[in-house]
Structure 1
Amino acid sequence: MSEVLTLADDGVLIITINRPEAKNAVNRAVAEGVAAAMEELDANDALRVGIIKGAGGTFCSGMDLKAFLTGELPMVKGKGFAGFVESPPKKPLIAAVDGYALAGGMEVAITCDLLVANSKAQFGIPETKRGLAAAAGGLMRLPRQIPPRIAMELALTGDFISAQRGYEIGFVNRVVETPAIDGALELAHKISANGPLAVRVSKQVIVESRGWSDAEMWAKQQEIVGPVMTSQDAREGAAAFAQKRAPNWTGK
C-alpha cells in the first residue's frame, strides 16, 4: 500500500496521506511521497492547484513517534518535514482538514496557502506535552497567521482548538459541514479558472513581500509582476472580457 496517493482532477492535484491505521502520522515514506507529489504539481503545466488531505477521516496526527524512536526522520533534505514545509510549491496549495490536524499535522496544514476544514476538525501543536517543540514551522508560521499572543498560548499549553475558532482567528479560510475535500475542490476550481501566470505570481508576491522594506517593495513587485502584464494570457483575459466568453489560458 502506498503511503501517499495522488489524483489529478480537472487541473487539481489531490494528494492524500494514506496511513489511516496510524492516523496519517508522517514517516519517511510519507515525506518522500509528498515531496514527489509537490514536484509533480509544479512541473506539470496541466496542474494549476494542489490539495493535501488525509485518508480515513483524519488529516494528520503529526510525526510518527514510533518511527522517531528508531531514528527515522520524517523529512527530505532541502524540503523539510513531510517533504515540503521548508520548500512549499510555487503553485497554490490547499489543506482539506477532517478530524485532527495535530503537531506536525497542523504544521502541514498551515504551510498550505489556504485551509478548508470540516466543522468537527480539531487543531493543535501539543509538542510541549511530549517534551518536544513545534519545529516544523508551527512556532514561526503560526504567529504570522494569527495574533501572536494566541499563537504563544497554543504553543505553550498544547491545547486544541476547533475549526470554528480557527476561522475566527484567521488561519482557517472556510468551515464546511461536508467532508473538507468538497469545500477544497470548490475553492481549487475557482482558482484554476483564473490565469495560471497571474495566480502563480500573485502567490509569489504575497509570500516574498513579507521580507521587503518599504524602499524596495515596489521595484521588487514590478520585477515579478511586470512580465505577466505583457503576457499572452493578459491579452487573452482582456479579449475574453470584451467578447463575453471564458478565457482560453495558455500560461504564456
Structure 2
Amino acid sequence: MDEVIINKKDRITIVTINRPNVRNAVNYKTSKMLENAMEEFNSDNEQHVCIITGNCGNFSSGADLSDAEKMSGEVLNKNGPMGFTRMFFQKPLIAAIEGYCVAGGLEMALSADIRISGKDAKFGFLERRFGVPLIDGGTQRLPKIIGVGRALDMILTGKLISADEAYKIGLVNYITDNGKALEKAIEIAKIMDSYPWDTLINDRLSLYNGLYESLNKGLRIEAEFGKKTIDGGAVRDGAKKFISGHGRHGKMD
C-alpha cells in the first residue's frame, strides 16, 4: 500500500500518512511522497484547502528512527526533513489529529493553520529521550502558538500532554470525539471554501506577511492586501449580496 494516500473531495485535498504499523512514522520514502503531495496541492489552483492526517488512529509518531541515516541527510532540505514543514502554503492547511501526534509528527501539525484533535490524542516532543533535535519548525512555531514559557516546558521536558491540555493552551483549536477529527476538518474546510476566496486568501496572507513586523508595517501590509481585494471586486459583489438580503443577522448563507 502507498505510504501516502491522496484524496480530493471537490476543492479539498486530504493527504493521509499511511504507515499504521509504526504509528505513521515518516521514513525517507514517505517524506518525499509528502513533499510531492504538498507541492502538488500548492500549485493546483483548483484545490483550495488541504487536510493532513494519519491512518488507523494515529496522526504520526515523527521520524522513523530505523531510517535515521537517510532522514538525517535531509536536515537542510528546503522543505524540511518531514517533507513540507518549511514550505509556505499559499492556501489553508488543516491538521486532523487522532492518537499520537508526537516528535516530528507534532512539528508537522504545527505547520497547519488549524489543528483539530480527537479527545484521546496525545502531544509531545518524545524525541527528547533519544537526543533527536527539533528540526521541522518546532522551536520556531510552538512559542508563537502557545507562548514562550509553555513552549519551553514542552520542548525541555519532552512531556506528553492530553488533548484537553493542548486545547487549554491553544495548541489545538477544536476537540472532537475519537475518530471524528477528519470529519470536523472537512466541515471547516467546506466553510472556508464557501467564502469569497480572494478575500479569504488575502486576509490569510496579510496575517502571515505581517506577523513578525512592527505594528506600523503590519498595518501597511494589511492595507495593501485589503486594497488588492477591493480592486478585485470582492467587496462590491459582497455588498450586492448583502443588499439583496443574504447573510443578515449573522446567518452564514
- Structure-1-length-normalised TM-score: 0.91
1:91 to partner: Cα distance: 0.4
Distance 1:54 1:74 in 2: 22
Structure 1's unaligned 5+ residue stretches are 247-252
Judging changes above 3 Å, is the alpha-carbon distance between structure 1 residues 139 and 231 closer, same or farther for their aligned structure 2 residues?
same
CA contact (8 A) 1:63 1:74 kept: no
For the Cα contact (< 8 Å) 2:118–2:163, is it kept in 1? yes
Cα distance 1:161–1:2, how it changes in 2: closer, same or farther (>3 A)? same
Is 1:176 the counterpart of 2:176? The answer is yes
Give the corresponding residue for 1:156.
Answer: 156
RMSD: 1.9
Deviations 1:195-250 (A, max 9, x none): 2211212221212212211332222222223111121333322222222459xxxx
Q: Are 1:59 and 2:91 counterparts?
A: no
The amino acid that maps onto 1:51 is: I
Specify whether residues 15 and 75 from structure 1 end up closer, same or farther in structure 2 by C-alpha distance, changes over 3 A only: farther
Structure 2 equivalent of residue 18 of structure 1: 18
Structure 1 residue 150, shift from structure 2 partner:
1.5
* Structure 1 residue 77 corresponds to structure 2 residue 77: yes
SS of 2:45's partner is coil
Alignment partner, residue 228 of structure 1: 229
Corresponding residue for 1:92?
92
Cα distance between partner residues in 2 of 1:84 and 1:71: 13
* Corresponding residue number in structure 1 for 2:47: 47
What is the match of residue 105 of structure 2?
Answer: 105
CA distance in 2, matches of 1:70, 1:114: 30
Distance 2:71 2:198 in 1: 42
| Structure 1 residues 207-222: aligned runs within 5 Å | 207-222=208-223
Identify if the C-alpha distance between structure 1 residues 236 and 217 changes in structure 2 by more than 3 Å, giving closer, same or farther: same
Rounded Cα–Cα distance in structure 1 between residues aligned with 2:138 and 2:242? 42
Matched to 1:193, the amino acid is S
Q: Indicate how the Cα distance of structure 1 residues 73 and 194 shifts in structure 2: closer, same or farther if over 3 A, else same.
A: farther
Displacement, 1:37?
Answer: 1.9
Taking the aligned partners of 1:28 and 1:232, their CA distance within structure 2 comes to 45
CA distance in 2, matches of 1:73, 1:147: 31
Call closer, same or farther: CA 1:71–1:230 in 2, change over 3 Å.
Answer: closer
> Percent identity of the aligned residues?
32
SS in 1 for 2:109: helix
Question: Per-residue CA shift, 1:13-35, capped at 9, x if unaligned?
Answer: 10101111121111222222222
Match of 1:249 in 2: none
Tell whether 2:141 aligns with 1:141. yes
Structure 2: gaps spanning 5 or more residues = 248-253
TM-score by length of structure 2 reads 0.90
* Structure 2 residue 26 is the aligned partner of structure 1 residue 29: no
Distance 1:75 1:224, change over 3 A: farther
1:190 aligns with 2:191: yes
Residue 250 of structure 2 aligns with which residue?
Answer: none
Measure the CA separation in 2 of the matches of 1:244 and 1:76. 53
Q: Is the 8 A contact 2:12 2:189 kept in 1?
A: yes
Q: CA deviation at 1:78?
A: 1.6
Q: Is the CA contact 2:163–2:175 (under 8 Å) kept in the aligned structure 1?
A: yes
CA distance in 1, matches of 2:204, 2:11: 17
- Partner SS for 2:211: helix
Question: What SS class does the counterpart of residue 80 from structure 1 fall into?
Answer: coil
Asked if the contact 2:28/2:70 (under 8 Å) is kept, the reply is: no
Give the letter aligned to residue 38 of structure 2. M
Give the distance between the partners of 2:119 and 2:76, measured in 1 at CA: 32
